[in-house]
Amino acid sequence: MSAQQVLFDIPGPRARRRHLVLGIIGSALLLGLLVVALVRVYAQGQFEAGKWTPFLEPASWTFYLLPGLWNTLKAAAVAIVLSMVLGTALAMLRMSDIAPVRWASGVFVEFFRAVPVLIMMIFTWVMLVKDPNLVRLTRSVGISAADVTFVAVVTGLVLYNASVICEILRNGVFSLPAGQREAGLSIGLSPSQVRRAILLPQAFTAMLPVLISQVVVITKDSALGYIITYPELLSRTRQLGSANANTFVAYLVVAAIFILLNYAITKLAEWIESRNRRTRRSAVGRGAPEKAAPTYGPSMDATSRVGPGRGPDDT
């Protein structure tokens, strides 16, 4: 909270009184707002026991919420693994010594960073259902009609997030001290060996908090599967809500699940970051800007472009 100390002196007795008054007024306003909202919700009958008891029945969980959560986690986990692999490969290619390889990887990354994830999901989904050649192909490799939405969700997530992870890793490599690369070259490694054996592993460690924050983005974006009828947590919640006529309450519960899940991942990123800084495991930790904040963007990106250490293509 460096910003806090910048803006005002340590308050004296008068300022403390004023802050207390402001605090009371602020809390009163907030409480008033909350009460108005709750009264409104109450008037609509959302607090009736019947709206909440479905969540005490095991069937709601075993038939709706847990299978939905499982599908969400499944899509997110597969997408995370695949986009890490593809992202690392793209980063290697984009730092290659062969110019055309660099350009091709650059075009790929810049293109898929600019296209909304949902557009890619819908495209993959409709094509897998409508295009006769693709339908034959997916059936021949054992993807059933029911799995098509899963494939579409993962494809959309992977293409976008691999591009973002490629840029994160490149930023990580650029933020390493120049001596790391020089040392590798001086013991006779080729430039590509230096990247593979020395720079990339360090970039991974240095960028671990940012990479974990990207996991939050992937988990959140898997909810886009709702739109293409993938039976993830949000879709299952909608069905549960209409089955019990408690849509409003069901969304509150599912929001709480999502928030807790992502908050836990964010905390993990912060913990790893503080441990990194303490043990100075990463080369970046030493000379780098004091805080490589775990930045993760609004759903589809935003701050992922401004990771620590601005890359050459940061606009």
Residues of this chain that bind other proteins (CB under 8 A)? 2-9, 11, 15, 19, 22-23, 26-27, 30, 40-41, 44, 46, 111, 114-119, 122-123, 126-127, 130-131, 216, 220-224, 226-227, 234, 238, 241, 247-248, 251, 254-255, 258-259, 261-263, 266, 293, 296-303, 305-306, 314-315
Q: With respect to other proteins, which residue has the nearer C-beta, 191 or 311?
A: 311
Rounded least distance, CB 218 to other proteins, Å? 11
Single-letter amino acid code for the residue at 269: A
Check: CB of residue 206 under 8 Å from CB of residue 174: no
Question: Which CB, 66 or 253, lies closer to other proteins?
Answer: 253
Comparing CB distances to other proteins, the nearer of 111 and 201 is 111
Q: Which of 155, 147, 146, 144 is nearest to 122 (CA)?
A: 155
C-alpha distances (whole Å) from 272 to each of 106, 162, 293 are 30, 22, 12
The string of DSSP letters for 145-213 reads GGGHHHHHHHHHHHHHHHHHHHHHHHHHHHTS-HHHHHHHHHTT--HHHHIIIIIHHHHHHHTHHHHHH
Closer residue to other proteins, CB minimum distance, 3 or 146: 3
Least CB distance from residue 227 to other proteins, whole Å?
5
> 181 with 158: CB under 8 angstroms?
no
> In the complex, what is the shortest distance from the CB of residue 202 to other proteins, in angstroms, rounded to a whole number?
25
Q: How far is the CB of 226 from other proteins (least distance, A)?
A: 5
CA angle 133, 117, 147 (to 5 degrees): 45
Question: Looking at beta carbons only, is 60 or 202 nearer to other proteins?
Answer: 60
Cα–Cα distance between 248 and 252 in angstroms, integer? 7
Smallest gap from residue 97 Cβ to other proteins (A): 28
Query: What is the sign, positive or negative, of the torsion defined by CA atoms of 183, 189, 190, 195?
Result: negative
> Quick one: 202 or 295, whose CB is closer to other proteins?
295
Q: Give per-residue burial for 140-150: e unless 16+ CB within 10 Å, then b.
A: eeeeeeeebbb
In angstroms, what is the minimal distance from the CB of 309 to other proteins? 14
